[in-house]
Amino acid sequence: MTARVLVVDDVDVNVKLLEARLMASYFQVVTATNGSAALSICQEGQCDIVLLDIMMPEMDGYEVCRRIKENPSTMHIPVIMVTALDSPEDRVKGLQAGADDFLTKPVNDLALITRVKSLVRLKMLTDDLRLRVASGDDITIEQIEDFNKVDPNQERGRVVVVDDRVKSYEKTVKSLSAHHDVDVVTNGNDALFQIAESDYEMAIISLNLHEYDSLRLCSHLRSLERTRQLPILVMADANQESVVSQALEIGVNDYVMHPVDAQELMARMRTQLRRKRFNDFLRKSVQQSIELAVRDPLTGLHNRRYMQNHFKSMFAKATKQNQLVSTILCDIDHFKSVNDNYGHDVGDEVIKEVANRIQKNIRNIDTACRFGGEEFVVIMPDTDMSFARTIAERIRQEVSEHPVYAQNGSIKLNVTISVGVACKDSSLFDSPDKLLKRSDVAMYNAKRSGRNQVMIEAA
Question: What tens digit of pLDDT does each residue of 403-423 get?
Answer: 999 999 999 999 999 999 999
The contacts of residue 428 (CB under 8 Å, 6+ apart) are 459
Sort 137 into a burial class: Cβ within 10 Å, 0-12 / 13-18 / 19+. Answer: exposed
Residues facing 377 on adjacent strands: 329, 369
Q: Is the pLDDT of residue 197 over 90?
A: yes
Active-site annotation holder among 19, 201, 349, 374: 374
Among 308, 435, 433, CA closest to 371: 308
Q: Is the pLDDT of residue 279 over 90?
A: no
H-only helix segments in 182-261: 188-197, 214-223, 241-249
**CA atoms of 142 and 279, how far apart (whole Å):** 17
Strands 375-381 and 367-372: antiparallel
pTM exceeds 0.85: no
How many secondary structure helices (H) and strands (E) does the chain include? 16, 17
- Percent residues over pLDDT 90 in the chain: 59
pLDDT grade for 141, boundaries at 50, 70 and 90: very low
Q: Is the pLDDT of residue 185 over 90?
A: yes
Question: Would residue 63 show up in a list of annotated catalytic residues for this protein?
Answer: no
Q: Is the pLDDT of residue 137 over 60?
A: no
Residues facing 413 on adjacent strands: 404
SS3 326: strand
Question: What tens digit of pLDDT does each residue of 221-275 get?
Answer: 999 999 998 999 999 998 998 899 899 889 898 888 898 888 888 878 887 888 8
SS3 254: strand
**CA atoms of 231 and 308, how far apart (whole Å):** 40
Question: What tens digit of pLDDT does each residue of 37-70 get?
Answer: 999 999 998 899 999 999 998 899 999 999 999 8
Residue with the larger pLDDT of the pair 335 and 276 = 335
- Percent residues over pLDDT 70 in the chain: 91
